Structure 1
Amino acid sequence: MSFVDHTIESAPAAARRPMEAVLKKTGYLPAAVARLAESPQLLDGFLRMSGLFETTTLSPLAREVLIMTVATRNACHVCVAMHSAKLPSVGANPDQIAALREGRPLDDAPLEALRLFVLEVLATSGAVSAEALEEFLAHGYTRQNALEVVLGISAYTMSTLANRMTEAPLDEALRPFAWTEPAA
């Protein structure tokens, strides 16, 4: 299966504005965006949902922990590379970045509680136990945060699945952050 690497000129008209916004924000047009442009609705939907996720009460580092947890679980090499590059700017240390890339426990108890809660939400399709919710809340999170986790999972599940389907290649700028799924 082959997806087109659209340029702004070759993309469907409805995808051009979101593509231009990404180009303006990043300075280049990521290959993943070029391929997602095949569906203007998916591209716009992802950008809107991820933008909403950025406005949640979760800290920037907590949001990145969620994104990396979804990205590694869904084996999206593009997402893992992109967010590995972003993690230092939100305060993640090298050990935390390595742990997230490898799916290992984090050394920060609240961030680890978040990571485990994300995995629980995914494993139970949202039907988390009262105990799992209470454990999450015991680390300073709120019920609002629990629902914000659902928003983040939704946005980044969309992205990871679409990037895998389109076989989006890794952009040159992200090659230093290349990731391969660890052997099980």
Structure 2
Amino acid sequence: MRKLAAVFALMASPALATGLQIEVEGEANGTITIDLLEDVAPKHVEQIAALAAEGQYDGVVFHRVIEDFMAQTGDVEFGKLGGNMAAAGRGGSSRPDLPAEFSDIPFDRGVVGMARSQNPNSANSQFFIMFDAGHFLNGQYTVVGKVTGGMDVVDQIKRGKGQNGAVIGQPDVMKKVTVTK
């Protein structure tokens, strides 16, 4: 009887998103699989999953890519392929900014973090994937996930130029982003 009650309780509770599947096109072609960490950053994971489920990330470019550091994407306001790429990276979504959910998880290779302005409570829709360890970010940015497949695809994302890593010409794009359970 207890087992049956536990099954019904599980069925009645809302399913949490456990990951993202990102189809990438451009210099990098393939699929990146990300395990989202609901227990570490529940508000950020909820926002990313909602934006992905609504199709907001589909067609968004990797606008800032720095060799040996990270690839940034997720500007659903100005980062759509075919839009004004000069503004990519300056926008967010129609959803409110989020309060920081810092953790003790280190920014190692494959870790996914939320991009933000100087205000720690300004993360919205943009996120980045680490090419290599960046422990200087530890405790200053919210960790939301970890790449579990397709790191070879991440490694092939077109690099940007200059100190800020702005991608010149045709950037790689998240063609389709799907929430997985």
Q: Which has the higher helix share?
A: 1
Q: Same fold (TM over 0.5)?
A: no
Structure having the higher strand fraction is: 2
TM-score by length of 2: 0.29
